[in-house]
Amino acid sequence: MVMERAVVKRSTKTIQLTMIQAITDGLRTMLQEDERVLVLGEDVGKNGGVFRATEGLYEQFGEDRIIDTPLSEAGIIGASIGMAVNGFKPVAEIQFLGFIYPAYEQIMTHVSRIRMRTMGKYSVPMVIRAPYGAGIRAPEVHSDSVEALFTHMPGIKVVCPSSAYDAKGLMIAAIEDPDPVLFLESMRIYRASREEVPEGKYTVEIGKGKKLLDGSDVTLIAWGAMVPVTMKAAEQAKTQGINCDVIDLRTLYPIDKDIIAESVQKTGRAVIVHEAHQTGGLGNDIVSIINDTSFLYMKSPIERVTGFDVPVPLFALEDHYLPTPQRVLKAIEKVVNF
Amino acid sequence: MLADFPILQVVDENGLLLHEQYKEKITEELVKSFYYHIVRIRTFDRKAVSLQRQGRLGTYAPFEGQEASQVGSALALDKDDWIFPTYRDHGATLTFGAGMMRTLLYWNGRVEGCVPDDGQKIFPPAVPIATQIPHAAGAAMAEKRKGTKNAAIAYFGDGATSEGDFHEGLNFASVFQAPAVFFNQNNGFAISVPVEKQMNSRTIAQKALAYNMPGVRIDGNDVFAVYFNTLEALNRGRNGGGPTLIEAVTYRYGAHTTADDPFKYRDQSKSETIRNTRDPLLRIERYMKNNGFWDENWVHKITEEISNEVDQAVKDMENYPKANVNDLFDHVFERPTWTIAKQKEEYLRLSGREA
Ligand SMILES: Cc1ncc(C[n+]2csc(CCOP(=O)(O)OP(=O)(O)O)c2C)c(N)n1
């Protein structure tokens, strides 16, 4: 195992939390520490969020800081911009990533470029949280996984944790970041497991991936809900004597190119797994990174296991849409047997 | 504004007719049809909630409490009109003629549930809030261009009025004087957010003023008021009078969806109070009794018929052929792009299916 790069400050005590509880804990930590931090969005206040990500915050910090907004994504992001340039640090929740589209204009035309347009005079130190992804039998449109729309967009960082520890550390780092961060939360793994999480404040550095498994035969790269899927495939591969090096990317922009290069230069093979559509997907940027940094080390073409180039279907077919350990394993076998 | 936009009623809570001008129009047949459809969609709704609890249906959005709004407005439509519902308006679409089995399929995550029968102009339910509102404006603009007398109706909630699409849709319909009816069900809540926190406006109907169109505020639990006011709005549109905004004031008795817990954010005893005083069905029952239309045998007969119809639809839904993987790939374009064709071929091969 590669050592966790985060620095634990202040506290050494830990508690067992699910990923969603760790997100709440990260929000609470920063709300306590920094008066400028505000939480706003649809149903985040009294209801504690439709997934309970803001549970208890309204009671603790009051309606002036935990703000139930009108049902308006453009309004939420637009108003957050106004607050951010005027002294606050908004953490805006978009109830589901599939409903972020009305805010796309605000993000693309303002969030991402206000610093550049004012040569640094104004900035928008805000966080946009959005649950995303398929696999929980949610109604239509709730299951979109469109991180690439935002990694393509210049001027905003994108993170996507897959564990409780990383979720809290990245949340705190995102809130402290001087620039806008899109914080993607996989609904499918919100409560899938528990992990020891330090109490109090610590950060996980934005822009750093994490090695989950050391192996010499093939590099597997994933994030969010695809991390457990990929780990399962790695376990199955091991029974066939194939040892996988597994990377949880954690930050989708800017990508940790060093962790990728270091790994593929060792293994010479790579499989990239994401649930978003293939064309224009982030997997293609990772292929480019490997090409740019490690071309001569590669022993086989890189495989991508992704969602298909079709809208995420209604839930009766979502299991067919989503990458499975079986599909990842096939790709592993393919690159190993090339 | 509250004084400018009073809540209109035709029949009050006690089942008494308030305006004599409707007396002639309210035939026994019409009243029975209101009653029948409200019982029918309420039976469906309760069945769906119970199926969801048993794990036989996905997350479901119940509409109990709002039936008068949905039935009254849908019965005012002509067969050739367009209907643009949300996820909570299948009471309206069922009344308009959507298949019951298909409606169940939709809630079971089946794309077949989005497909209307031939000859029906039913857009699939809009899940992204307010997005259907400009569609109705456009469909109505098209009917006008084609020179028909058809209209389009869009359903939406109080929360939807906060989205840009609501304003853009109304403005389009207004500018182009399209035969559209914007039918708002103000059920008091957008998930947990009460309407008083959703807007500082006193009413939703008043928003029509900005677009220079008629805005009507009605008792959404009074099926008579809903029916006659929707009819009037539709007729105005058909005859070149442009769009109308209707605010039907009603209440959602239960959870936002089966995934929601209303006890977290509101006092659920209000639902019981309304159920015992202003319930849509109670009011028709009182009206029927007051006017000598009440017939126990008939009520018994339709209740049984409806219960059989719903049971049969559930059976048909559960016996429906399993979801077909090809449907994941085959309907994105008229002819698949090479990317989709290749992905389909590889996936079917991998999962041991024939392409
Ligand atoms: C654009 C968009 N944002 C958020 C959501 C999540 N969501 C689903 S229903 C709902 C509340 C809708 O309230 P309202 O418009 O009053 O209709 P109701 O559900 O009460 O019928 C929200 C926020 C969504 N579906 N679409």
Across the range B296-311, mean pLDDT stands at: 98
**Closest Cα in chain B, distance from residue A305 (Å):** 10
Q: Give residue A323's domain range.
A: 210-336
What count of Cα atoms within 13 Å lies in the side-chain half-sphere of residue B56? 13
- How many CB atoms neighbour CB A235 within 10 A? 13
Boundary-marking domain end, from A168, A198, A228:
A198
- List the structure tokens of B223: 């099926």
Same domain as A29, residue A136 = yes
Q: What is the pLDDT of residue B354?
A: 62
Q: What stretch of H or E contains A304?
A: strand A303-307
Tell me the ipTM for this assembly: 0.97
Same domain as A168, residue A19 = yes
- List the structure tokens of B296: 């126990």
If one counts the domains in chain B, the total is 2
Window B:185-204, CB contacts with A under 8 Å: 190-193, 197-199
- List the structure tokens of A321: 């849409």
Interval B88-116: pLDDT, tens: 999 999 999 999 999 999 999 999 999 99
B347 touches chain A (CB under 8 A): yes
**Closest Cα in chain B, distance from residue A47 (Å):** 6
Same domain as A289, residue A165 = no
Q: What is the DSSP letter of B33?
A: H
Same domain as B93, residue B57 = yes
Same domain as B256, residue B338 = no
Cis status, amide bond into A131, omega within 30 of 0: no
Interval B50-59: pLDDT, tens: 999 999 999 9
Same domain as B329, residue B253 = no
pLDDT band at residue B156, thresholds of 50, 70 and 90?
very high
Do the domain assignments include residue A205?
Answer: no
Q: What backbone phi and psi angles, to 5 degrees, belong to B336? A: -65, 145
Kind of pairing, strands A89-93 and A66-68? unpaired
Same domain as A240, residue A191 = no
Q: Kindly give the distance from the C-alpha atom of residue B160 to the centroid of ligand 1, in angstroms, as a whole number.
A: 7
Ligand 1 binding pocket (C-beta < 6 A) is A 42, 71, 73, 95, 99, 102; B 88, 127-129, 156-160, 187, 189-191, 256
What crossing angle do the helices spanning B28-53 and B280-290 adopt, rounded to 10°?
Answer: 150
- List the structure tokens of B297: 């045998």
Contact residues on chain A for B192, CB-CB shorter than 8 A: 43, 45-47, 68
The region that residue A222 occupies, defined by phi over 0 for left and psi between -120 and 50 for alpha, beta otherwise, is beta
Nearest ligand 1 atom to the CA of A141 is 25
Q: What is the pLDDT of residue B352?
A: 87
Do the domain assignments include residue A235?
Answer: yes
Q: Say whether pLDDT at B257 is over 70.
A: yes
If one counts the domains in chain A, the total is 2
Instruction: Give the domain CATH number at A33.
Output: 3.40.50.970
**Closest Cα in chain A, distance from residue B324 (Å):** 8
Same domain as A239, residue A193 = no
Pocket probe mutation, ligand 1, options B67, B70, B129, max atoms within 8 Å of Cβ? B129
Same domain as B42, residue B28 = yes
Q: Kindly give the distance from the C-alpha atom of residue B284 to the centroid of ligand 1, in angstroms, as a whole number.
A: 30
Do the domain assignments include residue A151?
Answer: yes
pLDDT band at residue B355, thresholds of 50, 70 and 90?
low
Residue B110 to residue A314, Cβ atoms within 8 A: yes
Rounded Cα distance between A320 and A190, Å, is: 21
Instruction: Give the domain CATH number at A223.
Output: 3.40.50.920
Same domain as A177, residue A87 = yes
Residue A102 to residue B199, Cβ atoms within 8 A: no
Dihedral in degrees, nearest 10, Cα atoms B64, B67, B70, B76: 170
- Residue B265 designated active-site: yes
Of B59, B160, B340, the CB nearest to A71: B160
Same domain as B236, residue B125 = yes
Q: What is the pTM of this model?
A: 0.96
Residues of chain A with pLDDT under 50: 1-6, 8
Distances (CA, A) of B289 to A48, B15, B177, B286, B294: 46, 8, 42, 5, 5
Interval A201-253: pLDDT, tens: 999 999 999 999 999 999 999 999 999 999 999 999 999 999 999 999 999 99
Nearest ligand 1 atom to the CA of B158 is 16
Rounded Cα distance between B261 and B254, Å, is: 9
Same domain as A249, residue A174 = no
Same domain as B333, residue B185 = no
Same domain as B349, residue B245 = no
